[in-house]
Structures are given as structure tokens and as C-alpha cells.
Amino acid sequence: MTYKTRKAALLKTSGITLGLVLSLVAANSWAGLSSLRGEASIESGSNAPDVKREHADSPPIERNYFQQPPLIPHRIREYQITLRNNKCLSCHSWKTYKKAKATKISQTHFDDRDGNAQTSLAARRYFCTQCHVPQVDAPPLVGNAFLPVEELSK
């Protein structure tokens, strides 16, 4: 690249940057910045979202899409899942599920990442709430087109 072309390129980039900054400033003064908070200006406060209520205990919830991890149909406040202890296992483990009348952990959760079957819950499946979650009354934040299995086979 010669000195001249480099200078021209530099001028061009700075021109584009200036244009971008100007148009952003202009857009901001016209419409207000739109963010997840909505159209509120930076100076104004925003309303705190309503406290979402956890659903009361219910029978198992239907799955909404193919390979969805089953949802937790009960409250789990204060259930400890720590390195030392996993409260979920006191009902959902293979030793206890019958007595507790709970859903047992899937067989797939005993395989480690190389596909070798383990005698107990695989480490990568230990933290249940990474995939399984309880529900609250809240509209989805973003839309999606996921379909249950039956719809896919049609």
C-alpha cells in the first residue's frame, strides 16, 4: 500500500466513523434509545418488573418441543444443590423414586461425556437446574417456533 492510498483509506474510515456517530446522535434525539428497558430515556427511572409467582405443585407438565428437558412441576425454594449434597436426588434418584412417587432420573444421565455408563449420576448432569427449571407466570421474553413432537411428525 502506498502512502497516498493509505491516507485515502484512513480518511475514508474516519469519514464513515463520523457519519455513524452523527447518525446515532440524530437517531437518539429523534426516537430515544430503545433497549430491553423499552423506549425510556437514560435519565428517567424505569419501573421494576412485577414479582413473578412460582407455580404451585402440579402433575408433570407436557413437553413443548422435541428433546425439551422436563420442567419441574413444583416449588424448589431452598433446595440445595451443592458440591456436598443434591436435594433433588432425595426423591428422584433410582433408590428413592418409587417410594417418593417421583419421576426417576433418565438413563442418559449416567453416561459421562465419552458415553461410558457410570454407576451413579454423571458429574456433567449433577446440577439439575442447569436444564430443569420450575415455572412462573410470565410471557416469553422472545418468541419462538418450537413445536411439540406430534406436530413434527405430521
Partner 1 sequence: MTTPTNGKKGFLSRRSVKAVLIIGFVLGILFWGAFNTALELTNTETFCLSCHEMKDNVYQEYRNTIHYSNRTGVRATCPDCHVPKDWTHKIIRKIQASNELYHKALGTINTREKFEGKRLELAKHEWRRMKKVDSRECRNCHSYDYMDYTMQSRRASPQHIDGFNEGKTCIDCHKGIAHQMPDTSELSKEEREEFNLEQ
Rule CB under 8 A: is residue 135 a binding residue for partner 1? no
Closest to partner 1 by CB, 39 or 57: 57
Q: Does 2 participate in binding partner 1 (rule CB under 8 A)?
A: no
Residues 6-25 within binding reach of partner 1 (CB under 8 A): none
Site for partner 1 in 39-58 (CB under 8 A): 56-58
Query: Please, what is the Cα angle at 65 between 97 and 125, to 5 degrees?
Result: 45
If the CB atoms of residues 40 and 81 are measured against partner 1, the closer one turns out to be 81
Least distance CB 145 / partner 1 (angstroms):
33
Site for partner 1 in 93-132 (CB under 8 A): 93, 95-96, 100-101
Q: How far is the CB of 9 from partner 1 (least distance, A)?
A: 58
Question: From the CB of 148, what's the least distance to partner 1, in Å?
Answer: 25
Residue 78 engages partner 1 in binding (rule: CB under 8 A): yes
DSSP readout, the chain?
Answer: --HHHHHHHHHHHHHHHHHHHHHHHHHHHHH---BTTBS--SSS--PPPPPPPBPPP-SPPPP-STTPPPPB-S--TT--B-SS-BTTHHHHSTTTHHHHT-PPPPGGGGB-TTS-B-SS--GGG--GGGT--B-BS---SS------HHHHT-
Least Å distance, CB 140 to partner 1, is 26
Grid coordinates given for 21: 456517530
**Given 13, 34, 85, 118, the residue binding partner 1 (CB under 8 A):** 85
- Could you give the C-alpha distances from 75 to 16, 32, 56, 100, 114, in angstroms and in order? 54, 40, 7, 16, 33
- The residues binding partner 1 (CB under 8 A) are 56-58, 74-75, 77-78, 80, 82-87, 89-90, 93, 95-96, 100-101
